[in-house]
Amino acid sequence: MKNNQLFPIRELGSITGVNVSTLRAWERRYGLLKPARTPKGHRLYTKEDVDIVERIKQLINDGHGFTSIKKIIQSASNASLLEDTKNIWQAPIHDIKTAVSDYSYARVDSVFNEISSLYPIEIVSEKFIRPLLEYYRQNDLLIAESGFFNKWLQVRFSSRFHHDNCLSHNAKKIIFSGPPEHETELMLVSNMIISQGYQAMFFGSLLPLNNIASVVEKSAAKALFIMPNQHLIEQLDDFSQSIKSLNIPVFLFGETIATVGAINEDSQKVQSSLENFTVVDRIIRSTLEPLGVKFLGNNSAVAVNIFRQQMRHQYHE
């Protein structure tokens, strides 16, 4: 990309991974971006704007609020101003918990809409949604609240999938497949990916191995994104055969060995179990990596960045 090259807001969003509506909000509310305009009023951006957006994302990750971010961006020097970097997520997370405890869809929606209008989806996912999922997952006294929040999240993501898919007829199709027990997690990361301009084909369970090739062919999908479980790993040879003929990128997200040979509570067996983890992981990687399978780990923000880079490389985006 040339420094003086001009491009539209959609391309800026694609390059940086920040939703177009969020970029507009940063401009309108805080003056963080100052795009040029065409005679018809369309925004045009440069490489410098890309750098600014990446800087904003980093500052958000570091805990800065928008008042602090604006001062830093507008500062002649690039030094971070020593303003309070308190946890900017504390208040909205508290508000969500309160709304969930009152079982109020409207209030949960209101808090989420405000947050998602200001922050990139991958940051919202890592700093806002994931801590809430962990909070409810670990609290046995909040089973009703956990069910309420998880179902709200699934409905919200499903609506997003339907809306975005209707608007992206010509976008590259991505197949998302995973076991029902990881449905929310898979929907979370797939929601981050479709915000980059892809079309989601979401399967609520793992695709049967003998159906993978035909589903890819008939759908003309451009990538296969799988969240594996123990059953899939136990069928490793069959899985490798089922993807060998595919000419599209295949991604594995999550801890591929987390449910294989789970650590026994007996402390004497912990060390041998950990050693088994290493052996199993080595077997999985040595089997699948030669086929071009990309292991994304279990950090959704990192996974999305790797996915985006690989898709650009594969399809010269």
What is the per-residue pLDDT across 220-251, written as a single tens digit (0 to 9) for each?
A: 999 999 988 877 778 888 999 999 889 999 99
What's the whole-model pTM score?
A: 0.72
179 closest CA partner among 240, 233, 247, 130: 233
How many CA within 13 A on the CB side of residue 11? 13
What contacts 221, CB < 8 A, 6 or more positions away?
A: 173, 174, 175, 201, 215, 248
| Residue count of the chain | 317
Q: What is the edge-to-edge ordering of all strands in the sheet holding 199-203? A: 199-203, 173-177, 223-226, 250-252, 294-295
Residue written as token pair 């991604």: 251
Contact 228, 254 (CB under 8 A): yes
Contact 195, 17 (CB under 8 A): yes
pLDDT tens digits, 50-64:
999 999 998 888 888
pLDDT at 221: 93
pLDDT at 3: 62
Q: What is the dihedral of CA 290, 291, 292, 296, to 10 degrees?
A: -90
Residue written as token pair 């010269």: 316
158 closest CA partner among 126, 195, 202, 189: 202
pLDDT at 92: 94
pLDDT at 98: 97
Ranges of beta strands (E only) in 180-265 are 199-203, 223-226, 250-252
**What residue ranges of the chain have pLDDT lower than 70?**
1-3, 76-86, 165, 167-169, 204, 255-280, 317
pLDDT at 62: 82
DSSP state of 188: H
pLDDT at 147: 94
Burial class (CB in 10 A: 0-12, 13-18, 19+), 306: middle
What contacts 102, CB < 8 A, 6 or more positions away?
A: none
pLDDT tens digits, 174-207:
999 988 888 888 888 888 888 777 888 887 677 8
